[in-house]
Amino acid sequence: MSEFPTSIDPGDLPEAITRYLTARAARDVSAAAPAFAPDATVTDDGRTHEGAEAIARWLGQTDTEYTYTTTLTAAERDAPDRYTVHQHLEGNFPGGKVDLRCRFVLTHGLIGELSIAP
């Protein structure tokens, strides 16, 4: 029987994920961007952003496009280098409320892949 996925305390998430989540909540692109590996990919809203420059642009765009609050509702460790974070967002975006699943893959302690989906 596999030990994964396992529910974990959000305080037990790896530093790169915690740094990203904290920076995103503060709308701090300069703090969020270094959490990603140089060749990382982010898939959000049906679009994939590849590499540090594209991810920094994506971070900046999403921080200025809408105003919202984020509540972390659960965290799971899916494998030694894979984590899922569940978040509830409320704001002035279409629909006003959404529950998201953020799937992280770590590479050398940094975020190598992030996939965000409802």
What does the pLDDT average to over 33-47? 96
Partnered with residue 79 across adjacent β-strands are: 82
Q: Give the residue from 67, 66, 68 showing the smallest Cα distance to 99.
A: 68
Partnered with residue 106 across adjacent β-strands are: 111
What does the pLDDT average to over 10-27? 95
Q: Please report which confidence band the pLDDT of residue 29 belongs to, taking 50, 70 and 90 as the band edges.
A: very high
Tell me what pLDDT residue 96 has: 95
Q: Give the residue from 46, 19, 62, 60 showing the smallest Cα distance to 118.
A: 46
Tell me what pLDDT residue 22 has: 95
pLDDT above 60 (res 100)? yes
What does the pLDDT average to over 9-13? 94
What does the pLDDT average to over 29-44? 97
Tell me what pLDDT residue 2 has: 60
Distance from C-alpha of 118 to C-alpha of 115, rounded to nearest angstrom: 10
Residue pLDDT, tens place only, 55-86: 999 999 877 778 889 999 999 999 999 999 99
Q: What is the pTM of this model?
A: 0.92
Contacts of 65 (CB under 8 A, 6+ apart): 93
Structure tokens at 32: 């969020």
Structure tokens at 36: 């990603």
Distance from C-alpha of 31 to C-alpha of 35, rounded to nearest angstrom: 8
